[in-house]
Structure 1
Amino acid sequence: MTTNNYIFDLSDNVTRTPVTFDTRYGIGISADLYRPADFDETASYPALIVGAPYGGVKEQGPGIYANELAQKGYVVLTFDPAYNGASEGYPHHLSSPDQMVEDFMAGVDFLGTRPFVDREKIGAIGICGSGGFALSAAKVDPRIKAVATVSMYDISRMQKMGFGDSMTDSDRKDLLKTLAEQRWADFETEEPALTGRGAPLDWNADENPVGAEFGEFYSRPRGYHPRSITQFTMTSTASWMNFALLNDLDWLDGRPTLLVMGDDAHSRYFSEDVFKELPEPKELYIVENANHVDLYDKMDKIPFAKLEDFFGKALK
């Protein structure tokens, strides 16, 4: 049986240890460290840091990936983003691009100071929004030797342009006015307003197919976790609109990248567009008969063999 709201069963071949570490802003991060059951404290292991989908927590998809990859000989770190999940930070549910990227680099700080981790063999996996965060962190942090993204979202592009780049200039002007007014309201009440749920509790799949996809995961037993409410402070939106998360991807030159997406993913255009901008070596891997959320938790869809092969070569 699953325990402590983890949505998966921990393998008998893996140990999981709760750990904490601080970002450079002094925010304490709640994390889990996964290791092979036959772990040797005196050995030197390759390591991976796995980021959650935007709005997700470590007990969901990241833990599923860590549970599997630790069995392949990796030390794997999963974490809740600062201001979210069980991590520190007030007001809770705040998000910003700098903070989300910093979480990855702080994770590398932690991993690289473990005596059993080979500093020259640290990679990152980003699921959904964390795909963009992992790439953004790696482009300025050469300690991250390789990056794999899964069902990637570019959150800054999403907030600035709307899904499918559908936001008009008029829409954007109205949104910025609303967000500016909300800052006054938040200041006066000292209780920041939250966005609506990204994963609705009820939905009409014909009218809102993307919401239905997220709702079926986050708002149902399949992926439910009480700290994963898929909401953020409304005024967080402006910081994403003002920050180009994935500029300067050419700075990754020479470090391998792997972009994984489902062939039926509503988000596939993010991976396809970023792939065009990435330097070599790079690979776009398409999973057949898979949507965006399938790659969060469906063991028959997630290409673990591909990930193992990619990092086995990239971190050799």
Structure 2
Amino acid sequence: MKKLTSIIALTISVAVTKMANAQTTEKRYEQNPFTLVYDGAISKNEKGKVNIHSITYQLNGIPISANIYTPANYDSSKKYPAVVVAHPNGGIKEQTAGLYAQRLAEAGYITIAADAAYQGASGGEPRHTDTPANRIEDIHGMADCITQYKGVDAARLGVLGICGGGGYTLKAAQSDKRFKAVATLSMFNSGEVRRNGFQNSQINTIQERLKQASDARAQEAAGGKIVYTGVASITDEEIAKTPTDLYREGFVYYYRTHTHPNSTFLYTMSSLLYLMTWDATTEMDLINQPLLMMAGSKADTKYMTDEAFSKAKNAKNKELFLIERATHIQTYWKPEYVSQAVNKLVNFYQNNL
């Protein structure tokens, strides 16, 4: 009986600990003055260390919320290389984009991570509009902003796109030659997935979903309610039953361990009109800059990186770097995988900027 009582007590203790940990992570953004939710995030600006600067700038009449990270002992009279960091689909600047921007600033770069227009803390209506043209313009806009920042050497500008931001980065770099070195991490081809489904699981419903998007656009035009698609919330049981690593681990990342009120898996149904007719891998031969594409060796999204990389016929010094044993989402936060990616990025930018 005593043994059973001890087991019950231990079970309750573990459950309480898990609940407390969940509550702590869910409120992590409240514990950081910059609402950053990643491990090792800056909590205050100190002289001689990497600092963060929250700014707002205008992009085509829309206020964009961004964070600029400056290196330790930053001196505005000197010149530094800079890197633009584009966040994942559903993500915001306070999550993995901020983590990589901070780590690159620790390596001596001035970096910028901004919320996409219509998303996060940036302006734009309807909220959660998610179209390729907007996301690509966001990357051009970050380049506009950071190249005007004091101390930035505009001739040494790099770009890093993560997940969906990676697909949009490839497209932005095709035409924007201000980017002298192009890198992606866990690249996600938003157009292909919205059209065909993840791992081509929805090919048979393409026309049906285009009809839904068309109807949603018509309803918006008539002044009706905005129709959204995606996942607004999810239970632990539903997460556990999710079959793919990308979405199961993604739900944990975005809704549990790194949650933030500005981050959402929702987007307007009408956005599919643009997403489903777009593809990140078209015109890849226009990229003539040095190209580094990184993906987890165990990532179920790796096929997208492989496809894009194979089409980059004219990229200089192109390299496909595998992060051994990592899944897609683990490259967002797991220290040993983040360190591998950052070390590779620093070497890449040092050689090409």
TM-score tier by shorter-chain length is over 0.9
The aligned length equals 311
Per-residue Cα deviation, 1:153-191 (whole angstroms, up to 9, x for no partner): 0101111221112333x4111111122222233344543
**Is the contact between residue 295 and residue 321 of structure 2 (CA under 8 Å) also seen in structure 1?**
yes
Per-residue Cα deviation, 1:183-232 (whole angstroms, up to 9, x for no partner): 23334454312112187444253443332111110010x21001101110
Matched, 1:307 2:341: no
Matched AA of 1:263: S
Using the TM superposition, name which of 297-306 and 74-83 deviates more.
Answer: 297-306
Matched, 1:215 2:251: yes
Q: 1:22 corresponds to which residue? A: 58
Equivalent of 2:199, from 155, 164, 169? 164
In 1, Cα distance between the equivalents of 2:194 and 2:336? Answer: 32
Give secondary structure in 2 for the equivalent of 1:261: strand
Q: 1:270 corresponds to which residue? A: 304
Matching of residues 139-158 of structure 1 within 5 Å? 139-158=174-193
- CA spacing shift, 1:110–1:190, aligned 2, 3 Å: same
Matched, 1:10 2:42: yes
Give secondary structure in 1 for the equivalent of 2:337: coil
In 2, Cα distance between the equivalents of 1:28 and 1:237? Answer: 24
Larger Rg: 2
**Is the contact between residue 72 and residue 108 of structure 2 (CA under 8 Å) also seen in structure 1?**
no
**Is the contact between residue 14 and residue 34 of structure 1 (CA under 8 Å) also seen in structure 2?**
yes
Q: 2:66 corresponds to which residue? A: 31
Q: How far 1:33 sits from its partner (Å)?
A: 0.5
In 2, Cα distance between the equivalents of 1:234 and 1:204? Answer: 23
- CA spacing shift, 1:64–1:207, aligned 2, 3 Å: closer
- Could you tell me the TM-score, scaled by structure 2's length? 0.84
Matched, 1:257 2:266: no
**Is the contact between residue 198 and residue 230 of structure 1 (CA under 8 Å) also seen in structure 2?**
yes
Structure 1: runs of 5 or more not aligned: none
- CA spacing shift, 1:312–1:200, aligned 2, 3 Å: farther
Matching of residues 286-297 of structure 1 within 5 Å? 286-297=322-333
Q: How far 1:131 sits from its partner (Å)?
A: 0.4
Q: How far 1:120 sits from its partner (Å)?
A: 0.8
Give secondary structure in 2 for the equivalent of 1:300: helix
In 1, Cα distance between the equivalents of 2:212 and 2:161? Answer: 31
**Is the contact between residue 259 and residue 284 of structure 1 (CA under 8 Å) also seen in structure 2?**
yes
RMSD: 1.7
Give secondary structure in 2 for the equivalent of 1:219: helix
Matching of residues 126-141 of structure 1 within 5 Å? 126-141=161-176
Q: How far 1:242 sits from its partner (Å)?
A: 2.0
Per-residue Cα deviation, 1:27-63 (whole angstroms, up to 9, x for no partner): 2210000001300110011000111111100000011
**Is the contact between residue 47 and residue 76 of structure 1 (CA under 8 Å) also seen in structure 2?**
yes
Equivalent of 2:217, from 183, 195, 199? 183
Give secondary structure in 2 for the equivalent of 1:260: strand
Give secondary structure in 2 for the equivalent of 1:306: helix
Q: How far 1:113 sits from its partner (Å)?
A: 1.7
In 1, Cα distance between the equivalents of 2:153 and 2:239? Answer: 49
Matched AA of 1:212: R
Give secondary structure in 2 for the equivalent of 1:99: helix
Matched, 1:60 2:98: no
Q: How far 1:83 sits from its partner (Å)?
A: 0.3
Q: How far 1:288 sits from its partner (Å)?
A: 1.1
Q: How far 1:2 sits from its partner (Å)?
A: 3.1
Q: 1:104 corresponds to which residue? A: 139
Per-residue Cα deviation, 1:93-134 (whole angstroms, up to 9, x for no partner): 001111100000011111112241111100000110000111
Structure 2: runs of 5 or more not aligned: 1-30
**Is the contact between residue 64 and residue 114 of structure 2 (CA under 8 Å) also seen in structure 1?**
yes
Q: How far 1:18 sits from its partner (Å)?
A: 0.7
Q: 2:158 corresponds to which residue? A: 123
Using the TM superposition, name which of 101-110 and 158-167 deviates more.
Answer: 158-167
Using the TM superposition, name which of 199-208 and 139-148 deviates more.
Answer: 199-208
Equivalent of 2:279, from 244, 263, 267? 244
Q: How far 1:246 sits from its partner (Å)?
A: 2.7
Higher helix share: 2
Percent identity between the two aligned chains: 33
Equivalent of 2:84, from 29, 36, 49? 49
Q: How far 1:289 sits from its partner (Å)?
A: 1.5
- CA spacing shift, 1:166–1:117, aligned 2, 3 Å: same
Matched AA of 1:167: Q
Q: 2:24 corresponds to which residue? A: none
Matched AA of 2:32: T
- Could you tell me the TM-score, scaled by structure 1's length? 0.93
Q: 2:5 corresponds to which residue? A: none
Give secondary structure in 1 for the equivalent of 2:117: coil
